[in-house]
Each structure stands twice: as C-alpha cells, then as structure tokens.
Amino acid sequence: MNQAPTDTLQHQTPALRMLVTLGGVAMLSGFLIVLVYQLTKPIIEENQRLAIEQMVFKLVPAASIRRDIELAPGLSVYAAYDEQGRLKGVVAQGAAQGYADLVHLLYNYAPDCDCIKGFDILKMAETPGLGDKILTDKAFLANFDYLDARLNAAGDGLANPIVTVKHGKKQEQWQIDAISGATVTSRAVGKAINDSAQQMLPLLQPRLEGIRQIELEQTPAEQTQAEQQP
C-alpha cells in the first residue's frame, strides 16, 4: 500500500522533466528569434532605404536630389529634383494583392502633366514568365508614358479612377491595358497606383507650391560657391 505514491511520483517525473525541457527550449527559441530580428532589422531597413533611393532616381532620371516629404502620419513621398533644384517628379509607394502575394511598387507622379510616368517593383512573388512580364512587356510599360492622374474639381480624389482593362480594350488615358495571360498582376499594378494616388494626390496638391520652393533656394553646391565669392 505504501508503494503506490512512490510509483506515481516516479512515473510523473520524466513527464515533468520533459515539460520543463520543452519550455526551456521554447523560451530559448523565442529569445533567439527576437534577438535575430533586432540585429537584422537595421540592416533590412537600410537595404530598403537604398533600394528606394536607387529606384527614385531610376524613375526620375533627370533628378539628382531627393527629399522625403511627410504628407500625413505614415504617408510619405519622395520629391525628386535636378541639380538646379527644379522639381522633376514625386515618387510614391503603393501595394495591392497580386496572384501569389502583395505587389509592392513605386510610381512617379509628374506634376507638370498631372500624370503617372513610370513605375517599378519593390517586392513581388508573381509567377516567373507570366506575372513578372509587367517589368518587361513593352506594350504594358507604354501605359505609363502618360497615365492620366488629374484630380476632380473638388480636389478630393482622381477625376477618373485608374483602372486596368482587358488586353486590347484601352480607350482612355487613365486606363491600363493588361497583359494577356497576366491579368491578375496587371490589375494589381493598376489598383496599387489608383489606391495610393486617390489618397496621396489630394494631400500633395495643396502643398505642391511649397514643395517646389526648393527651386528658389540655393543648392548646397551653389551655397558653397556663394560663400567662397569675395
């Protein structure tokens, strides 16, 4: 009769040890995950910053100066200027669901024509040979030589929503002619730009003249030259 409690304790001990061991492993794994995240986060952010900077100048090849402009909390754009401080374009981010995952992109808004001129992909996981044609198909890229992005009379949204239409059905300057066989990804590009522009442009337009004011200011090089003059 006296052996029963001892036997029960002996049977419970391995299970208890296993639980303690598993708990310790779980805590250690969690700690390592957090540690790796904290160590790699600055590297990832710096790589993303460099990628965005390179893409801004790729989208606005006439620019050599970039200014980050915060239009609202959590909403920033990249104003691109040439060496004389003239505004050449405003680059913004957008994202929309593609075939496999979200399609993250940057696009260039050209204030002089109230239009979108060019886009590039920050991140996507679309099908190779199909979805990724959005970066190589010449007919598709031609949509962004001039994509109408004028605001409506109230200034609170686009006059005409940017939409992707079936291949061969484009009739308006605010429409994007889809790639045959990659319609989902084509639509993701259109939706990403439209959703972003609908939010961004009404905030940008009232501040546009102020953003252009760098045109009237000296660039750092010009300021240095002025200081060196007698």
Does some domain include residue 38? no
Q: Where are the beta strands (DSSP E) in the chain?
A: 65-72, 75-81, 87-97, 102-110, 115-123, 147-148, 163-165, 175-177
**What's the angle, vertex CA 39, arms to CA 38 and CA 41, rounded to 5?**
65
Does some domain include residue 133? yes
pLDDT per residue as tens digits for the range 75-121: 999 999 999 999 999 999 999 999 989 999 999 999 999 999 999 99
Does some domain include residue 226? no
Q: Express as a percent the part of the chain with pLDDT over 70.
A: 85
Q: Specify the number of domains making up the chain.
A: 1
**C-alpha–C-alpha distance, residues 95 and 124, integer Å:** 10
**CB–CB of 56/92 below 8 Å?**
no
**C-alpha–C-alpha distance, residues 209 and 206, integer Å:** 7
Residue with tokens 């036997």: 7
Tell me the pTM.
0.75
* Position 40 pLDDT exceeds 90: no
**C-alpha–C-alpha distance, residues 82 and 86, integer Å:** 5
Does some domain include residue 44? no
Does some domain include residue 159? yes
**C-alpha–C-alpha distance, residues 76 and 200, integer Å:** 9
Does some domain include residue 24? no
pLDDT class of 35 with cuts at 50, 70, 90: confident
* Position 28 pLDDT exceeds 90: no
Does some domain include residue 140? yes
**C-alpha–C-alpha distance, residues 225 and 230, integer Å:** 10
Q: Which of 15-24, 81-90, 167-176, 178-187 has the lowest average pLDDT?
A: 15-24
Does some domain include residue 49? no
11 vs 63, residue with greater confidence: 63
**CB–CB of 167/178 below 8 Å?**
yes
Domain of residue 149 covers 60-216
pLDDT class of 128 with cuts at 50, 70, 90: confident
